[in-house]
Amino acid sequence: MTRKVTEATHSNNNCRPDTTMRRFTTAFRAWRTRRHENAPPPDHTESPAPEPVPGASTLWRMRTTVRDEPGSLAALCTALSGQRVDILSLQTHPLADGTVDEFLLRAPGELPASGIATAVRTAGGTDTWIERADAHDLVDAPTRVLGLAARTALDAAELPLALRQLLGRCTIRSQPAPAGGDRAPGVPVEGALDGTVLRLRAPEGGVITVERPHLPFTPTEFARARALVELDTRLGPRVPHGRDVLTLAEGADITVRRADTRDLEPARAMHERCSDRTLRLRYHGPVGDADRYLNHLLSPRFGRTLAVQTASGRVVGLGHLLWDGDETEVALIVEDAWQRRGVGAELLRRLVAMAVDAGCGSVYAVTQASNTGMVAAMRGLGLPLDYQVEEGTLVITARLGERVASPAGELGSASAP
């Protein structure tokens, strides 16, 4: 359960968290504060170039603003040529009082970012931003945008990831619509652009906020992002139809599939069959509040959900991969009668594999120190783990490296119709 979802839920229902929930929230906030203080700083324009290798070259992404007059771009290209910098691609973003030019550059390995920026400034470029690029940036912009649109069309949960890949390093947050089905106030239907912040109306009435403090958005980027959101709106709710049928050691078959808000009623029914202890270990608060989180957790705006169901169609387990700002959370709940049978471990492996596919560098789980099942499942991933404990709240972070497979070893055979 992300802190974001918890706070939004209590705010929307005008409920005051009890002492247990306040202790959990305070401890979690303290952990996250220390974690971000100790995190490495993000890449910036003055980062040194790597150790030069004779004959090697380095890819750079650069933006600079030039005057909207004949010869400005030519002077810039001449200055780059003088530093033996090759221009691989160029996009222009017109503004009211100039033009933002976005370059993909190949420069000599010994030329640092500061050397490129100095040449650009001498040629009249202003507000220059530059950072290292990689081979993925060699794909031209139309091809990349079409690929992101195709992914979004297949899976509603892809929208936040597509926006991040479209706009580069940024933080994306989803705010649910107010209670009662009203649209979120303060954001026009066509969205809003305010320097380093984009606000877009989500299809279900909430707001998607995109922040990029190190680089202002351009009207072109705003139009592209809005087009992706409009595509999502037109297509409506959707999840991939693939599902795996797994056989447990004792011979029973279960199915693992994607889920969304259309599975709200089966998920609530599973909650009713769970013990108070299972609900407390999952939601860290009053067991009567558990159902209030489900609509958020099942929403593709906040991440992806896997459901485990029996041959009769009864949902007996849920696994969530939740986009939490710049971080990614994993969370599980398995009905009591299906615990200790490998179901939770299988869900966790699949969630982590999805996180790897999404390009996440790590995932974290928020639980209690007494939740030995979740601790064992995280250890069973075979990944490097970090532990933080605050007043009984345990946060386990797994650093993702090689691709994590989702074998059916503990469960038996698997098939994907």
The contacts of residue 298 (CB under 8 Å, 6+ apart) are 259, 260, 261, 263, 264, 267, 305
Mean pLDDT by 10 residues, the chain (417 residues): 35 36 44 36 41 73 90 92 92 86 92 93 92 84 89 87 88 76 68 92 84 91 92 86 81 89 92 90 74 83 91 93 85 93 91 89 90 90 90 89 47 39
Q: How far apart are CA 264 and CA 282, in angstroms?
A: 17
Percent helix, strand and coil across the chain, each to the nearest 5: 40, 30, 35
pLDDT of residue 49: 45
Give this prediction's pTM: 0.65
Tokens matching residue 125 = 């470029």
The CA-atom distances, in angstroms, between 126 and each of 48, 91, 120, 195, 260 are 21, 16, 8, 16, 46
Strand partners for 306: 258, 319
pLDDT of residue 53: 54
Tokens matching residue 134 = 């990689």
